[in-house]
A and B are shown apart, each in its own frame.
Chain A
Amino acid sequence: MNSKEEQFKKLISENEERIKRICRYYAPDKDEQKDIYQEILINIWKSLESFRGDASISTWIYRIAVNTSLSFMGKSFKRMKLHVNSDTQNLSSLLDESNYEDKLREETQFNQIQLELNQLSVIDKALISLQLEGLSMKEISEIIGITEPNVKVKIHRIKEQLREKMKGVDYE
């Protein structure tokens, strides 16, 4: 087995879950997830020789995953839904107020957040998916290619928007 294959296998085994989570965010069903996953792996394989270590390996993987997912959505990208797993970490960071934490565990609120997330624009969804992955603003800016302050402003705006919408929801 040559070194490219070894490097590829190692990379995939170490980042498998990370890539799968990104696929889950972007695709509504298993078949689409499988297609995006395969496409991401193909692009990782193609880009492997160009990886020079300028960015961290996780940033590099996320870039390929996000770019592939955005490209993969093609004409249907308007309908792209953000799918949040019930075990997704950092979900509470979207509404980072302590009095919300308990309520987040409640099913209705969880569903409401997901419904609101699905109303976001495609780029807002991409930013939120990275935020849900627990990445820092700096890492998100390196992946998306906009400045760190711009990422902060955008994420702050999204959170404000979500908070406003969640305020009007009755959880009884």
Chain B
Amino acid sequence: MNSLVNKNIDTSIAGSNPDDLILKLKNEDARNLRISKNFQWIYWILIPIYAGFFILNPDDELNLLSRISGACYVVSFIIFAFIFRKSVKEYKAIDYSLPTLEMMKQAVKRYHLWQPRLLWALLSVLFIDAGLIFSGIEFVDAASFLNRFLWIQATFLPAIGISFGIGVLIWSKRQKPLRDQALRIIKELIE
């Protein structure tokens, strides 16, 4: 028979006994849970620390602007914490037992670059921006505010722009091909 005919396939393609596999599956579950918990902890620890040091701290040397700055950071962390929590939930909710068409539609949605969460992330970044501006001002006067504002925009915004650019590059390399593939499959299924 021609070599193209795939008749002599090894029937033991599992490659491991069920107990080893179950151990692997359990490890996978435990790993996902651990990563999720670690991130949750980092955010939920940072939020009270920043709130304690920069908002609630009774030290008289901590002026109102520094407290506003601290509040901006805390709000930013809270937004990021919720964004991350939502992403983890979405990731965990991927269901391979859905009909193919439905699963592909969900993949397209999941791997879309412009998502509502991006607006929340932008808002969070704006809070950090505001926090940086307020953290370096001693007195509220137009000159020092403008000076600080321009300095932060000249450094922080390019850094954010570069980070976003790197994010888009990673997306186009890893997630865009998956999205394009899912779109092709949907097109083929419904036409």
A interface with B by C-beta (< 8 Å): 5, 8-9, 12, 16, 20, 23-24, 28, 30, 33-34, 37-38, 41-43, 45-47, 50-51, 55, 60, 63-64, 66-68, 70-71, 74-75, 77, 83-87, 107, 110-111, 114-115, 121-123, 126, 142-146
Q: A61: nearest residue on chain B (CB-CB)?
A: B97
Given A5-B22, A42-B28, A74-B177: A145 and B6 within 8 A (CB)?
no
Given A37-B14, A38-B15: A67 and B4 within 8 A (CB)?
no
Give A13 Cβ to nearest chain B Cβ, in Å.
8
B155 CB-CB contact with A under 8 Å:
no
B interface with A by C-beta (< 8 Å): 1-2, 4-7, 9-11, 13-15, 18, 21-22, 24-25, 28-29, 95-103, 107, 177-178, 181, 184-185, 188-190
On whether the beta carbons of B9 and A144 are closer than 8 Å, the reply is no
Main secondary structure of the interface of B (DSSP, over half): helix
Q: A1: nearest residue on chain B (CB-CB)?
A: B22
On whether the beta carbons of B101 and A86 are closer than 8 Å, the reply is no
On whether the beta carbons of A121 and B188 are closer than 8 Å, the reply is yes
On whether the beta carbons of B102 and A145 are closer than 8 Å, the reply is yes
Cα-based distance from A50 to B97 in the complex (angstroms): 9
Main secondary structure of the interface of A (DSSP, over half): helix
Of B24, B181, B188, most buried by chain A (CB within 10 Å of CB) is: B181
The 10 closest A-B pairs by CB, nearest first: A145-B99, A145-B101, A83-B6, A86-B7, A43-B96, A123-B188, A45-B25, A47-B97, A64-B96, A67-B96
On whether the beta carbons of A87 and B7 are closer than 8 Å, the reply is yes
On whether the beta carbons of B9 and A67 are closer than 8 Å, the reply is no
On whether the beta carbons of B181 and A126 are closer than 8 Å, the reply is no
On whether the beta carbons of B11 and A74 are closer than 8 Å, the reply is no
Give A70 Cβ to nearest chain B Cβ, in Å.
7
Give B111 Cβ to nearest chain A Cβ, in Å.
12
Listed by A's residue number, 6 A-B pairs whose Cβ atoms lie within 8 Å are A8-B22, A9-B18, A30-B9, A38-B21, A63-B96, A68-B96
Cα-based distance from A107 to B5 in the complex (angstroms): 9
Give A89 Cβ to nearest chain B Cβ, in Å.
14
On whether the beta carbons of A37 and B189 are closer than 8 Å, the reply is no
Residues in chain B near residue A63, CB distance under 8 A: 96-100
Known: A85-B6, A142-B99, A144-B189. 20 other contacts (CB 8 A): A23-B13, A28-B6, A33-B9, A38-B14, A38-B15, A42-B25, A55-B97, A63-B97, A68-B96, A71-B107, A83-B6, A86-B5, A86-B6, A114-B4, A115-B4, A122-B188, A123-B188, A143-B99, A144-B100, A145-B98
On whether the beta carbons of B181 and A75 are closer than 8 Å, the reply is yes
On whether the beta carbons of A20 and B98 are closer than 8 Å, the reply is no
Q: B100: nearest residue on chain A (CB-CB)?
A: A144
Q: A30: nearest residue on chain B (CB-CB)?
A: B10
On whether the beta carbons of A85 and B100 are closer than 8 Å, the reply is no
Cα-based distance from A110 to B6 in the complex (angstroms): 11
